[in-house]
Amino acid sequence: MLALAGLAYLAVRLGALREWGLATILLGSVALVSAVVLTGAIRSLAERAAARRCAFDLTEIDAMEGVEFEWWVCNLLERRGFRASLTPTSDDRGVDIVAEREELRCAVQVKRYRGLVSRHAVSDVVGGMKQYGCETGMVVTNSYFTEAAAALAEANECALVDRDTLAEWMEAARRGEG
């Protein structure tokens, strides 16, 4: 309601009321506020679904969509003691999640993949780290990494979480450990 009142006030101040009419401005305002509320509701539902589904096995993770896997990894990082948040889905600069714990701020690239994850995932997250004010990077996948990816990650002090490590993290989460 407050947002509608603010939009109406702005329309009056800018003279739009005389040009477009009250009905057009109110309809546009309602549509804008509805879009914002709907977007928030969808995001909230996705977060809750990811939180409920933290104890999947790897075959279920392999069947996830990429964005669903990003939510799932974000939730798993939170269970591991991080404050984690997703970056915008478009133009994320190679960083899907920003995870923080104590003084550490980490850029995370998430790859739900069928083959080997290449060095491009590592270079993307390393390239996006400064954009998000991160000191370190991490790439998380349900698969494994190429040798070139491992070499580039080691040279840039970027952590790699492959299928085996992910399974260990899942088991620790099931046991209630960090």
pLDDT band at 49; cut points 50, 70, 90:
low
pLDDT surpassing 70 at residue 56: no
Q: Which residues contact residue 67 at a Cβ distance below 8 angstroms, ignoring those fewer than 6 apart?
A: 46, 89
R_g of the chain, CA atoms, integer Å: 21
pLDDT surpassing 70 at residue 66: yes
pLDDT at 46: 62
Q: How far, in Å, are 15, 24, 25 from residue 19 at the CA level?
A: 7, 10, 10
Q: What percent of the chain has pLDDT over 70?
A: 72
What does the pLDDT average to over 152-162? 97
> Does residue 44 or residue 146 have the better pLDDT?
146
Distance CA 79, CA 71 (A): 13
pLDDT at 52: 46
Most distant CA atoms of the chain, gap in Å: 66
> Does residue 96 or residue 50 have the better pLDDT?
96
Instruction: Report whether 25 contacts 143 (CB < 8 A).
Output: no
Q: Using the 8-state DSSP alphabet, how is residue 33 labeled?
A: H
Q: Using the 8-state DSSP alphabet, how is residue 113 labeled?
A: -
Distance CA 115, CA 136 (A): 25
pLDDT surpassing 80 at residue 158: yes
Q: Using the 8-state DSSP alphabet, how is residue 88 labeled?
A: P
pLDDT surpassing 80 at residue 75: yes
Domain 56-174 sits in CATH at: 3.40.1350.10
pLDDT band at 47; cut points 50, 70, 90:
low
pLDDT by residue (tens digit) across 5-46?
766 676 666 676 677 766 666 666 666 667 666 666 676 666
What does the pLDDT average to over 153-163? 97
